[in-house]
Amino acid sequence: MGCAMGNLYDKNSLKEIKGSLEKWQNDILPKWLQQVPEREKEFTNLSNIQIKNLYTPLDIEDFDYNTKLGFPGTYPFTRGIHATMYRARLWTMRMFSGFGGPEETNNRLKFLIEHGETGLSLAFDYPTLIGIDPDDPMAEGEVGIVGVSVPSIEDMRIVFDGINMGEVTTNMTINPPAPVLLSFYVGVAEMQGVPYNKIGGTTQNDPLKEFIAQKSYVFPPEPAVRVSMDLIEWSVKNLPKWNPISVSGYHIREAGSTAVQELAFTIADGIEYVRQLISRGLDVDEFAPRISFFWDSHINFFEEIAKFRAARRMWAKIMKEWFHAKKERSMWMRFHTQTAGVSLTAQQPWNNIIRTAIEAMAAVLGGTQSLHTNSFDEPFRVPSEFAAKIALRTQQIIAYESGIADTIDPLAGSYYVEWLTDQIEEQAWKYIDKIEKLGGMLEAVKKGFPQREVTEASYNYQKQVDEKKKYIVGVNIFEENEVDEIRNVPLLEFDQAEIEKRQKARISKIKSERNKELWERSLNELRKAAEGDVNLMPYILQAAKAKATLGEIMNTLKEVFGSYVEPPIY
Amino acid sequence: MSSAETILDDLLNKASNGNMRAIGRILSYLENPYTMPEDLLEKLAKRAGNAQIIGITGIPGSGKSTLISKLITSLRKRGYKVAVIAIDPSSPISGGALLGDRLRMQEHATDPGVFIRSVSSKGLKGGLSLAALAMIEAFDALGYDKIIIETVGVGQSEVDIMSAADTIVVVTMPGAGDDIQALKAGVMEIGNIYVLNKIDKEEANKTYEYLSFALEKGDLGGNDSNWQPRLIKTSAIMGKGIEELVEAIEDHFIFIKKSNKIQEKIVSRRTLMINLLAEQFLSEGLKLASKEMYDELKSAAINANDIFNTSLRLAKKAVDFLPQNKKD
Amino acid sequence: MLSPQFTKSEQFKVLVAKLGIDGHDRGAKVIARALKDAGFEVIYTGIRQTPQQIVSSALQEDVDVIGVSILSGAHIHHMKVLMEELKNAGASDIPVVIGGTIPLIDVDELKKIGVREVFLPGESLKRIVEIIRKLAEEKRRLESRG
């Protein structure tokens, strides 16, 4: 028998298939092609992998079921991290949103809680994301636009006013200032009398991708990683319900990377963090179960599904074989997915609803734990309520109508999907090898390697679109003059200037009313701690409680760590 | 006074009053010497002669731009007006240029006492050196006290530019200086001040020792026996060692002023500029002349005949096409 | 203040900058590359640029066109300041274009304050380069007329 181990096909059947395939290729196909030639000279996906006309068992001839796939909830988790997957519990439909000041957000959160939501998600405005206060000149005109402004513990108190923080979990999309925002959060929970073991949620807290893609960096790479690892180490020891990091490929992809680069760079980021934490003396099984991931789901359907499946298999292997994790949970790649903002177009914006639906289906078929679907009006502005509702309904239709969630990993065993999963994994490993040779991701980032790769890929893609080698409906094919149609898109309206004024006024009130002595001492102690190598979390928490503002805490750290300005990489 | 002259004087007046646009425009004219206003350089040079020209060079990745940004902060605190000429070395065969050197100095973009100008070899008729030398005259004339020229220190024109500076600062980083042969290439060996940047890196001490040894032995450093080249440790990103570097730059300026070398430097800079300008005129004239003598040149080439004399006639003809002769 | 017989380098110069504090620099970098490949000299000043920084950089570099990219939603506020600064510097003749996530209603507003062109997501590189070239040529033509 040719299928010792778990091989899918024995040699004899493969031979037979090969014979009939050759017959088809030589006798049948050419006649058809003569009459109807193929549409394109070549078909490639977004990672520029060549796609063949047909896949057969011959493309996965050595396929070993048990080593490649296993079963849901078993190593290498290709088919899913849970044994039951969506038959037991659907993915979490986590819609990240927010704008304005703490008062607006408090109202919104209360509304969501009344409607049964317990998993809250905070989007912050740009000043908060880069760690500056609303009264910083750089913040002018930016306060409260893309998310909520939370520059102090007092602002956080207002966000959660009347909400029991022991009964909700909160996802905070925040990076360099993550320790500060977590400190505000913990500080307010303490005021509410919530014990540490009941404080639950997530901080994105992924510093390396900031340099590769998102560019909301503050400190240079090394101190940035230190601060982030401080948060993880501290929460592993103090907040048993906190997910301290969400290693994010999303922003890398949105910055124009290919699917393979997104996969490889994000896993390489993860590897760097695991090494950093182990070198601090932590046991891998102590922290690894708390690491989660965040992926983009782009428009090339099968490529994305293959990416998600490859990601689980790779991470499981890395955790088991490289880092000798013993707990299965340490090997799980748990992940959140967001559909691709970058795939949306201003032209014929309604089409974005369909794009998002296809991308959401890929995420579900790829086994995501939670999903955010973008709204069709995002090429213009932060989503309107109407558009956000359609985005949520898209998920609900997939979940409740389509039958997609009724069986686990339904595309497994597809010759094409399995071949593509292998291809993407193989190419991602090549990148990871290269990054290992550069000394790991921190070194690679300092050398500008992933930055250059992403920049190059995004330019190549844009050129392909310009040359019509890749199509975007309404952009370079089936274009129409539809200005009026776009004008009818209803947009979110709010008085930004008013919110900015209110936020500025509050920060100056906080500054004038706080205990100067406590405040000053807390920042001095933080500075001293930063100069040494102790964990900074307790010092940041102390400063947050002493009403030091976000900007003040970040500036104190900048004095010690310096500020990052990126080298010119095009 | 011709109207062109009035316009030029007007532009110079505005520039002297610190009008950024006027200064920017004067620099643009200097990028195209063949058609620049004929008395522009002389009007500038007459007012010049006070600035310190600081050439800063170093391998890519040594952190020059960040270092210069910190240097500007410190020089500004001392009350100096600072100009930066950021020279981009990339000159791909086709296409344009993408200049990002000022990216790391943008914190100074709105300071009226700082002027940053990027220069690429693309689109420059007279080459990098000529443009840089002319810009030095301009900034000097317009009251900038410290004129920093940033280059990566490879290629002949960069050597020319650096040699024209009053003070040469060579920036290196841990690991990069362990092979002195590498440092000896190009302008690295003629530095007055050496900077070991990124001292927070592990190999910093080793490289520092290597460099001090090379300096003591005289393998590195300019050929002025009266100036002992300095070696300074910095961490530009953390702002460490910057004051010491500024002190060294000031000391070197005092040194060359005391040893009466300043005038010598100015004269040699201008001599080089005049030479390069003449070279440029001739080469442009030559292009136009060879267009006119096309048939003659072709015939000489085809028949393998009269090559020496045709060349000579061409050279003589080129003179007819020099700028001042264009007016006829 | 310009005279016909003095000419600048023949290459068009464009400043490309990220206005505001969002970090989405994919578009800005792609445009910078496309302009470079089309023969332009591009000055790239990176992310987190204020209107003041952009204007003074444009003056110092004597550029023909200013191209800004912004995805933070704060475009109206920042562009008003930028156009005002440009006017105060006597440099309103430098054409300004913008790209980013911008509602159509704001496109009208931006054009009203003097922005020459607004590029939305999905715009082709070729068209962006063509328009910038046209604006640069126009500016040079006006200059040479004095």
Q: How many CA atoms lie within 13 A of B182 on its CB side?
A: 11
Ramachandran quadrant class, B155 (left: phi over 0; alpha: psi -120 to 50; beta: rest):
left
Three-state SS at A134: coil
Contact B101 A568 (CB under 8 A): yes
| pLDDT tens digit sequence for B20-68 | 999 999 999 998 877 788 889 999 999 999 999 999 988 778 889 999 9
Locate CATH 3.40.50.300 in chain B.
43-259
DSSP symbol at A213: I
- Angle subtended at Cα A204 by Cα A198 and Cα A209, rounded to the nearest 5 degrees: 160
Which pLDDT does position B328 carry in this prediction?
Answer: 39
Decide if pLDDT at A1 tops 60: no
Closest of A541, A542, A540, A551 to residue A504, by C-alpha: A551
Decide if A68 contacts A78 (C-beta within 8 A): yes
| pLDDT tens digit sequence for A110-123 | 988 887 777 788 99
Say if A19 is an interface residue toward chain B (CB within 8 Å): no
Which pLDDT does position B134 carry in this prediction?
Answer: 93
Say if B28 is an interface residue toward chain C (CB within 8 Å): yes
pTM listed for this prediction: 0.91
How far is the alpha carbon of C144 from chain A, nearest alpha carbon, in Å? 33
Q: Cβ contacts (< 8 Å) between A475 and chain C: which residues?
A: 122, 124
Together in a domain, A80 and A210: yes
Query: Is A118 a member of any domain?
Result: yes
| pLDDT tens digit sequence for A39-85 | 988 999 989 999 999 999 999 998 999 999 999 999 999 999 999 99
Say if A137 is an interface residue toward chain B (CB within 8 Å): no
What average pLDDT does this structure show over B101-125? Answer: 87
Identity of the residue in C33, C76, C122 whose CB atom sits nearest the CB atom of A475 = C122
The pLDDT mean for chain B works out to: 86
**Structural domain count of chain A:** 3
Tokens 């990416």 locate to: A307
Q: Cβ contacts (< 8 Å) between C43 and chain B: which residues?
A: 99-100, 102, 118
Q: Cβ contacts (< 8 Å) between B43 and chain C: which residues?
A: none
Which pLDDT does position C52 carry in this prediction?
Answer: 96
Structure tokens at A58: 């011959």
| pLDDT tens digit sequence for A346-358 | 889 999 999 999 9
Which one of B237, B240, B242 makes the best mutation probe of the A interface by having the most chain A beta carbons within 10 Å? Answer: B237
Contact C45 B36 (CB under 8 A): no
d(CA A160, CA A154) in angstroms, rounded, equals: 10
How far is the alpha carbon of B237 from chain A, nearest alpha carbon, in Å? 6
Together in a domain, A296 and A340: yes
Banded pLDDT at B101 (limits 50, 70, 90): confident
Assigned architecture for domain C12-145: 3-Layer(aba) Sandwich (3.40)
- Residues in chain B, how many? 328
What average pLDDT does this structure show over B221-244? Answer: 88
Taking one residue from B and the other from C, the number of pairs with CB-CB distance under 8 angstroms is 117
Which one of B238, B240, B242 makes the best mutation probe of the A interface by having the most chain A beta carbons within 10 Å? Answer: B238
Contact C26 A382 (CB under 8 A): no
Last residue of a domain, one of A432, A456, A487: A487
Which one of A215, A252, A455, A478 makes the best mutation probe of the C interface by having the most chain C beta carbons within 10 Å? Answer: A215
Decide if B195 contacts B57 (C-beta within 8 A): no
Counting residues of chain B whose pLDDT is more than 70, the rounded percentage is 88
Query: Is A302 a member of any domain?
Result: yes
Say if B22 is an interface residue toward chain C (CB within 8 Å): yes
Which one of C53, C62, C94 makes the best mutation probe of the B interface by having the most chain B beta carbons within 10 Å? Answer: C62
Decide if pLDDT at B74 tops 60: yes
Together in a domain, A337 and A386: yes
Say if B3 is an interface residue toward chain C (CB within 8 Å): yes
The arrangement of strands across the sheet holding B146-151 comes to B114-120, B82-88, B146-151, B52-58, B167-172, B193-196, B230-233
Neighbours of chain C (3+ CB pairs under 8 A): A, B
Banded pLDDT at B2 (limits 50, 70, 90): low
Banded pLDDT at A526 (limits 50, 70, 90): very high
Neighbours of B115 (CB within 10 A): 26
For the stretch A314-330, what's the b/e string if a residue is b when 16 or more beta carbons lie within 10 angstroms of its beta carbon? bbbbbbbeebebeebeb
Together in a domain, A434 and A369: yes
Which pLDDT does position C145 carry in this prediction?
Answer: 67
Say if B79 is an interface residue toward chain C (CB within 8 Å): no
Together in a domain, A167 and A40: no
| pLDDT tens digit sequence for A398-430 | 999 999 999 999 999 999 999 999 999 999 999
Q: Cβ contacts (< 8 Å) between A564 and chain B: which residues?
A: 237
Counting residues of chain C whose pLDDT is more than 70, the rounded percentage is 92
Query: Of A85-94, B151-160, B206-215, which gets the smallest average pLDDT?
Result: B151-160
d(CA A358, CA A299) in angstroms, rounded, equals: 7
CA-based nearest residue in chain B for residue A446: B61
Which pLDDT does position C146 carry in this prediction?
Answer: 56
Task: Delimit the domains of chain C by residue range.
Answer: 12-145
Closest of A47, A85, A76 to residue A420, by C-alpha: A47
Backbone angles phi, psi at C106, to 5 degrees: -75, -25
The pLDDT mean for chain A works out to: 94
d(CA A185, CA A179) in angstroms, rounded, equals: 10
How far is the alpha carbon of B108 from chain C, nearest alpha carbon, in Å? 8
d(CA B167, CA C124) in angstroms, rounded, equals: 48
How far is the alpha carbon of C44 from chain B, nearest alpha carbon, in Å? 5
Identity of the residue in A466, A565, A566 whose CB atom sits nearest the CB atom of C125 = A466
Together in a domain, A75 and A15: no
d(CA A529, CA A531) in angstroms, rounded, equals: 5
Query: Is A568 a member of any domain?
Result: no
Backbone angles phi, psi at B86, to 5 degrees: -95, 110
What average pLDDT does this structure show over A136-143? Answer: 95
Together in a domain, A462 and A523: no
Structure tokens at A246: 């969400």
Q: Cβ contacts (< 8 Å) between A567 and chain B: which residues?
A: 61, 65, 100, 103-104
Q: Cβ contacts (< 8 Å) between A345 and chain C: which residues?
A: 121-122
Assigned architecture for domain B43-259: 3-Layer(aba) Sandwich (3.40)
Range of the domain at A201: 70-487
Closest of A511, C45, A159, A195 to residue B108, by C-alpha: C45
Together in a domain, A316 and A457: yes
Closest of A172, A264, A170 to residue A209, by C-alpha: A264
Say if A567 is an interface residue toward chain B (CB within 8 Å): yes
Together in a domain, A258 and A138: yes
Together in a domain, A169 and A36: no
| pLDDT tens digit sequence for C48-93 | 999 999 999 999 999 999 999 999 999 999 999 999 999 999 999 9
How far is the alpha carbon of C127 from chain A, nearest alpha carbon, in Å? 9
For residue B155, the one-letter residue type is G
What average pLDDT does this structure show over C118-136? Answer: 93
Counting residues of chain A whose pLDDT is more than 90, the rounded percentage is 86
Query: Is A451 a member of any domain?
Result: yes
Counting residues of chain B whose pLDDT is more than 90, the rounded percentage is 50
CATH number at residue A229: 3.20.20.240
Neighbours of B298 (CB within 10 A): 10
Together in a domain, A136 and A230: yes
Which pLDDT does position B326 carry in this prediction?
Answer: 42
Q: Cβ contacts (< 8 Å) between B99 and chain C: which residues?
A: 41-44
Which pLDDT does position A99 carry in this prediction?
Answer: 75
Together in a domain, A452 and A315: yes
Say if B233 is an interface residue toward chain C (CB within 8 Å): no
Tokens 């291809």 locate to: A423
Tokens 């003097």 locate to: C114
d(CA C15, CA C96) in angstroms, rounded, equals: 10
Three-state SS at A203: strand
